[in-house]
Amino acid sequence: MNSSEIAMNPPVLTTVGACALPHLSVIAARGEDAAHFLHNQLTQDFALLDLQHARLAAFCNAKGRMQASMVGFKTSPLEVLLVLRADLLPQTLKRLSMFVLRAKVKLTDASAEWRVAGRFTAHAELVTPWQLTQDQRTWQVGLYPAGGLARQLCVLPTEEALTDAVSDPQDWLLGEVLSGVADVQAATFEAFVPQMLN
Give the model confidence (pLDDT) of 127-144 as tens digits.
899 999 998 899 999 999
The yes-or-no verdict on residue 28 having pLDDT over 90 is yes
Give the model confidence (pLDDT) of 49-77 as tens digits.
999 999 999 999 999 999 999 999 999 99
CATH number, position 78: 3.30.1360.120
pLDDT at position 152 is 94
pLDDT at position 98 is 94
| Total domain count, the chain | 1
C-alpha closest to that of 121 among 133, 111, 113, 109: 133
Whether residue 198 lies inside any domain: the answer is no
C-alpha closest to that of 128 among 146, 116, 144: 144
The yes-or-no verdict on residue 172 having pLDDT over 90 is no
Residue 12's pLDDT band, with cuts at 50, 70 and 90, is low
The yes-or-no verdict on residue 4 having pLDDT over 60 is no
Strands 132-135, 24-30: pairing is: unpaired
Residue 154's pLDDT band, with cuts at 50, 70 and 90, is very high
CA angle 38, 116, 186 (to 5 degrees): 65
41 is in which domain, residue-wise?
A: 3-192
Whether residue 51 lies inside any domain: the answer is yes
C-alpha closest to that of 156 among 79, 77, 81, 89: 81
Whether residue 145 lies inside any domain: the answer is yes
pLDDT at position 5 is 53
> pTM of the predicted model, to two decimals?
0.89
